[in-house]
Chains A and B, each alone.
Chain A
Amino acid sequence: MKQKKESSSTDVTGVSSSRRRTLKTIGTGIAAATAPVWFPRAYAASEPIKIGAQLHRTGIGASYGRWYERTATAAVNLINEQGGINGRPVELIVEDDGTDPKRGTEVLEKFATQHKVDVAYGTLFSHVVIGSSPRAGELKLPYVVCSEGHHVASGKLNRYVFQPGITDVRSQVISMAPWISQNLGKKVTMMFPDFAFGHDHRDYFSQAIAEQGGEVLELIAVPPTETSFTRYFPRIPRDTEVLYHVMVGPGVLTFVKEMGQHFGKKRPEIFGFIDSLEAVDLATPQLEFLEGTYFWEGNPRYAQADQSDFDKQYRAAVGVDGKGASLADPKDVSTYSHMFACWESLFIIKEAMELAGYRSVADKNAFIEAMESLQKFDEGLAHPQGNKIFNPKLHQSFGHQHISKVGADGSMEVVHKTSIEDGLYESDVDYTQMAL
């Protein structure tokens, strides 16, 4: 690579090029022959930066895992095309956590001891992140998560854990509560998965809607591994104006179908988190009732009329069409609303490493301090979802949220985009005060 660069630069001078070329060929030959003698040092400089990706290849989060891996791989390819990090290529080492906190911890250990990665990164499900984080702290392994739960910003994790790529649930729901209460109704019933991520919704949305003069009539918690949901719907009070749903796991399609069976045309307003249908085609039979309902989207699955060039390039790089499905297989619908977090987090890791002049694991503390010096991310190819501000004390980013309305053909159109300020909240958490 280095040789090639030199040759192109010297050729520009154009002086006695044939003689020079001959000498050069000889020189290259000698260099190649003696390579083992001098190569190791040069090699060390281009030794890859290893990023350990902890992903849900199997288990209940597998559809996210598949797309997180594709997105991360595309981002790494782009970073390498652009010259890597500090001139070194990036290598992504993927390990499957099985969407299981125990295995998640083991994966981090493997990253630290076997692969000797520079940074651990990835995963979505909040119980895996919460389960793995203490071990990341013990191993002193920087752990950049793409999970969207409030656990990082809540202060209950540690200084090694960051969530710079996606806004947390608390901020998401605060920013949208005013729109929901003004446009859909004030009496809300919530259906949510009965674990950390769902509890964030329960706690912070209830609070946010109360601040808007609304109230939550009923809280219906559903185990994330549930396969049958009809039994939960009768608990929705009749005077419910808005049904707020967020579901995860392999049963999500069943959940939404059974919701349609239960209500038919006599439904309340329905506001869901697209989590309830991530990786599912909205044009699936029996989902017709969703027409006219609303979804939160982190990043709009359907390319919008005002689509940015960055979104176009990002879709092309990951291999996603304008409907959020794989270019290779239109039935393979992406987790478009969330997976941008994987892309953006990698570029943030790059930014911080370059800021810290990162060379090896020994510069770990400098890397963490560099992460904590970041303030904002501008919209661009590195941040196709939009600009964000980063709160170093909370280790958490805050960005824009989208509310989309479902159309007749299952397409979704953004009807409201929140501002970053809509989602800010007071907090006295300060990770930067923790020892490294």
Chain B
Amino acid sequence: MDFGPFLFLATLEGLVQAAVLCLTALGLSLVFGVMRVVNVAHGEFYMLGAVLAYWITSWISGNPAMGFAVALLLAPLFVGVVAYLSEKIILRRLGYDPEATIVATIGILYILQQTALLTFGPDARPVEPPLYFRVEFPWFGYSGYKLIVIAAAVILLLLAWFVITRTRLGLIMRATQFDRETAQNYGIAVDRVYAMVFAAGAAFAAIAAVLIVPIQQAHYLMGGDPLLLAFIVVIIGGLGSIRGTLLAALLIGLSDGIFSVFFSPTLAKMVSTTLVALVLVFKPEGLFGHRSRL
């Protein structure tokens, strides 16, 4: 294939990757930013979203778009509830101690993964895309649904951006992130904010998974890769910085797509991890992070 079309395909692939990564990493970044909790179970919330999408779509017969729309609504909601409960039952009792929460979220990771294995089973299961068409470029064909994923992610991200920066809810969240104690003094129910943020973070991962599952299939081990990439993005972007997270997701998604197409996916992962190492050495707070206020 010639260079032009090659680059075009690589960019498309990169954009799909970036779109999903933005949503996943945003959830992770939100949880860390507000709660200072490193959520190792984030990838499993993603997996749970995909598995639920499979279940919901297989229950609803008829037009695949119907089932998919219900899944896009219910799966993140259910995942949010699971996250909300695990925050209340586990993380809160640990007082959000950084080390303890890491161990606890590793525990949650295994509980979710093994529960999925025991109930959903070990097989990869396909989900019908809500609408499927093939876009025929002069040089190659491309899945139309992938283009829809990019568009959907952009809309969802704009929505999230609006909520965080323009609404009272967002203000409360940002206040809690900025200074927990002062926020509490101003009458903000910090505990409730934490629970909601943890649920919202997980729901973002679930939304990303529902969008991606018609491309990739649901599988109980699918949470590993997105977790790794989301961590890479959050570290490069700056822990807790939403703007940094989105830019880093775009950067990593695109570079991953382009390096994968032109060279090899293994090299793409090497480049991303090298970037992380460089950022940690030269700008530990991340490209857009602030030095922590201690």
Contacts and interface: CB of A to CB of B under 8 A. Distances in A.
Contact of B257 (A227, A231, A285): A231
B261 A227 contact: no
Contacts of A234: 1, 5-6, 9-10, 140, 261
Interface in A314-372: none
A59 interface: yes
Interface stretch (B21-29, B66-74, B121-129, B283-291): B121-129
A250 B6 contact: no
A228 B14 CA distance: 12
B134 A250 contact: no
B141 interface: yes
Interface in B101-152: 117, 121-124, 126, 128, 132, 134, 136, 140-143
Interface string B85-112: 0000000000000000000000000000
Given A58-B122, A250-B124, A284-B126, A230 B9 contact: yes
Nearest to B14: A231
Contacts of A253: 124, 126, 217
A58 B142 CA distance: 33
A41 interface: no
B277 to A, nearest CB: 22
Contacts of A230: 9, 13, 142-143
Contact of A251 (B216, B260, B265): B216
A286 to B, nearest CB: 7
A63 B6 contact: no
Interface string A47-85: 000000000011110110110000000000000000000
Nearest to B140: A262
Given A223-B266, A261-B141, A286-B132, A62 B122 contact: yes
Interface string A199-243: 000000000000000000000000100111011011000100000
Contacts of B140: 233-234, 262
Contacts of A226: 265
Contacts of B215: 228, 254
A358 B221 CA distance: 42
Given A230-B9, A261-B141, A58 B124 contact: no
B222 interface: yes
Contacts of B261: 231, 234
Contacts of A65: 122
A69 B217 CA distance: 24
A404 to B, nearest CB: 23
Interface residues of B, number: 33
Contact of B265 (A66, A231, A233, A284): A231
Nearest to B268: A231
A175 B189 CA distance: 72
A263 interface: yes
Given A228-B216, A234-B261, A261-B134, A59 B122 contact: yes
B98 to A, nearest CB: 31
B219 interface: yes
- Classify the secondary structure of B's interface with A: mixed
Contact of B134 (A58, A62, A264): A264
Contacts of A275: none
Interface residues of A, number: 31
Interface in B196-252: 215-217, 219, 221-222, 225
A262 B221 contact: no
Given A59-B122, A234-B140, A264-B136, A250 B257 contact: no
A231 B13 contact: yes
Nearest to B8: A234
Nearest to A234: B1
Contacts of A228: 13, 17, 215-216
Contacts of B123: 62-63, 66, 250, 279
Interface string A270-313: 00000000010000111000000000000000000000000000
Interface in B5-56: 5-6, 9-10, 13, 17
B267 to A, nearest CB: 12
Given A58-B122, A251-B217, A254-B215, A227 B222 contact: yes
A227 B132 contact: no
A118 interface: no
Contacts of B6: 234
Nearest to B142: A261
A264 B265 CA distance: 24
Contact of A262 (B126, B128, B141, B217): B141
B225 A231 contact: no
Contacts of B221: 59-60, 250
A148 interface: no
A168 interface: no
B225 A227 contact: yes
Nearest to A222: B265
A413 interface: no
A97 interface: no
A100 to B, nearest CB: 11
Given A223-B266, A285-B132, 15 more contacts: A57-B122, A63-B123, A226-B265, A227-B216, A231-B13, A233-B140, A234-B1, A234-B6, A234-B10, A250-B124, A251-B217, A252-B124, A261-B143, A262-B141, A263-B141
Give the 3 A-B CB pairs with smallest separation, nearest first. A62-B122, A250-B124, A264-B141
Interface of B: 1, 5-6, 9-10, 13, 17, 117, 121-124, 126, 128, 132, 134, 136, 140-143, 215-217, 219, 221-222, 225, 257, 260-261, 265-266
